[in-house]
Amino acid sequence: MKDNEPIKTLSTERKPRSGSPGRQREIDTCTGAAGKISLDIAVLPGDGIGPEVIGATLAVLKKLEERWTKVCFAFREHAVGTAEYLRYGDPLSEEAFAACRQADAVLLGAMGLPSVRWPDGRELSPQLDLRERLDLYAGLRPIRLYHAQDTPLKRYGAGEIDLVIVRENCEGLFSARLSKSDPASGEVRDLLRITRRGAERVFRAAFELAGRRRKKCTLVDKANVLPSMVFFRSVFDDVAREYPEVEASRVYVDAMALYLLQKPHEFDVLVTENMFGDILSDLAAGLVGGMGMAPSADIGDDCAVFQPSHGTAPDIAGKGIANPIAAILSAAMMLEWLGHPELLDGATRIRHAVETVLSDPANRTPDTGGRLATQQMTEKIMECL
Ligand code: ATP
C-alpha cells in the first residue's frame, strides 16, 4: 500500500450513539472542544503487553490531536481480559461489549494468557467473541517492509514487500471453536463452515481494497481437497466477475506458504478462510520484522476494532520492551476508517513517522534486534509526527 493511501473503509457510516457509560474509566474527553466533532473511542488495553502498547498508541494519538481543529477523541477505557475473568468470571463484560458496539471505534491491545483458561482447557479469547458478536467479518492485516534489515529474505528493501491479508473473521474453521466435544468418545470434530453470504461479503471487501491498491486479488484456499473450499472458490469466482478491473487468481494454501517466502512481491491482496488467515498472517509478519510490526483492523458494516496482530506476549510483558509499532499502525488504520480529513492527515503522519524512524537501523526495540524501550520508540515516533 502506498504510504498515504487510506486502507479505507468498508463503511464510513456512523451509528447513532446513545449509551450508558458502564464500568469504564474516562481517560480523556474532548476538553475545550467547542464546535469539534467528538469521536468516542472505546479503549481495551487487555492483558500482557496490551496496556504497554496501548499506552504508547494513546500518547501518539493525543499528540496528533493537538493539531486538529475540527475533531477530537473521547477515550473511554474498559477493563477486559484475564483479570476481569479471574475477578468476575467474564473476560468481556456486557457493559464493555455494549460500549464497543456504541463507540465510533474500538482500540484493543491484546487479550488472553496461556496460564488462564476455561475449564475445558481453551485459552480465553474475548477478542474472537468481540469479532463474532460485532460481525467484524473482514480482518485486514497489512504486511509492509519498512527496511531491508527487518526481513529474513535476501534482496528485499523498503516497500518491496507490501501486501494485505484479508482474513474472513466470522466463520471458517474457527466457527467450531465453541462447540462441545467429548474426548472420552474417542473422536472430536471441528466444522469448517462457509456460507455464501459470509464468503461474498469478505470477497467484496478484498476486491474493493485491491481496486484501491495494485488491483490484484488472490484467493487462498484448499479447493483441491475440501468440499467447503470448492464452494468458497466458486463464490470467489462469482464475485470476481463483478470486478473486471481487478486481476483475480487462486492459490492453494500450502503453495501460498511457499510463495510468501519465495516471491512475496508478487502479491497485493490475499483473501482467505479464518484459520488459514490466522496462520498466514503470522508467517507474513515474520517477513517484515515479526509480530511487533504487524497492525490489523477487524471491520464490519457497523463497527470496527483496531488492534495489533500480535497476542499478549507474556514472555516480555511488564519489561517495557514491547514494540509499539504494530499498535500505532493499527491506530493509523483507525484514523483512516473514521475518515475525517484531519484524521486522514493524522494517519499519513503516523506512517511517515514510522517510516522515518525505521529508516535508521539503530531505532529498533529488542524484538527487531535493537535496544530501544517501548517508551523510547514511542517518543521517537512522536518527534516525527
Ligand atoms: P495469540 O495466539 O494470542 O495471537 P501468539 O501465541 O501468536 O499470540 P504473541 O503474543 O503474538 O503470540 O507472541 C509471539 C512472539 O512474538 C513472542 O515471542 C512475543 O514476545 C513476540 N511479540 C509479539 N508481539 C510483540 C511486540 N509487540 N513486541 C515485541 N515482541 C512481540
β-strand 162-168 against 304-306: which pairing, if any?
A: unpaired
Ligand 1 centroid to 169 CA: how many Å?
A: 20
Sign of CA dihedral 194, 196, 201, 204: positive
Q: Residue written as cell 472542544?
A: 33
Ligand 1 centroid to 52 CA: how many Å?
A: 13
User: H-type helices in 212-315, by residue range?
Assistant: 227-240, 253-262, 274-286
Burial letters for 240-266: b for 16+ Cβ neighbours within 10 Å, e otherwise?
beebeebebeebbbeebbebbeeebee
Kindly report the protein residue whose alpha carbon is nearest to atom 14 of ligand 1. Answer: 313
β-strand 138-144 against 247-252: which pairing, if any?
A: unpaired
Ligand 1 centroid to 306 CA: how many Å?
A: 16
* From 124, 310, 312, mutation site for ligand 1 pocket: most ligand atoms within 8 A of C-beta: 310
Largest CA distance in the chain: 65
The angle at the Cα of 337, spanning 294 to 28, to the nearest 5 degrees, equals 90
Instruction: Check pocket membership of 307 for ligand 1, CB cut-off 6 A.
Output: no
pLDDT at 279 over 50: yes
Instruction: Check pocket membership of 377 for ligand 1, CB cut-off 6 A.
Output: no
- Return the pLDDT at 125: 87
Give tens-digit pLDDT for 184-194. Answer: 899 988 999 99
Give tens-digit pLDDT for 170-219. Answer: 999 999 887 887 888 999 889 999 999 999 999 999 999 999 999 999 99
Please give the Cα distance from 279 to 27 (Å, whole number): 35
- Closest ligand 1 atom to residue 282 Cα is 7
pTM for the structure as a whole: 0.91
Please give the Cα distance from 298 to 140 (Å, whole number): 6
Instruction: Check pocket membership of 201 for ligand 1, CB cut-off 6 A.
Output: no
Share of the chain above pLDDT 70, in %: 91
Instruction: Check pocket membership of 328 for ligand 1, CB cut-off 6 A.
Output: no
β-strand 216-221 against 269-272: which pairing, if any?
A: parallel
Kindly report the protein residue whose alpha carbon is nearest to atom 4 of ligand 1. Answer: 311
Please give the Cα distance from 59 to 43 (Å, whole number): 13
Residue 50's SS3 state is helix
Give tens-digit pLDDT for 209-255. Answer: 999 999 999 999 999 999 999 999 999 999 999 999 999 999 999 99
Ligand 1 centroid to 324 CA: how many Å?
A: 12
Give tens-digit pLDDT for 13-46. Answer: 333 333 333 345 666 666 556 688 999 999 999 9
Instruction: Check pocket membership of 272 for ligand 1, CB cut-off 6 A.
Output: no
pLDDT at 280 over 90: yes
The order of strands in the sheet holding 304-306 is 24-28, 71-78, 37-46, 105-110, 304-306, 297-299, 138-144, 162-168, 269-272, 216-221, 247-252
Running DSSP on this structure, what letter comes out for residue 339? Answer: -
C-alpha cell at 227: 468440499
Please give the Cα distance from 337 to 2 (Å, whole number): 16
Ligand 1 centroid to 308 CA: how many Å?
A: 10
- Closest ligand 1 atom to residue 327 Cα is 27
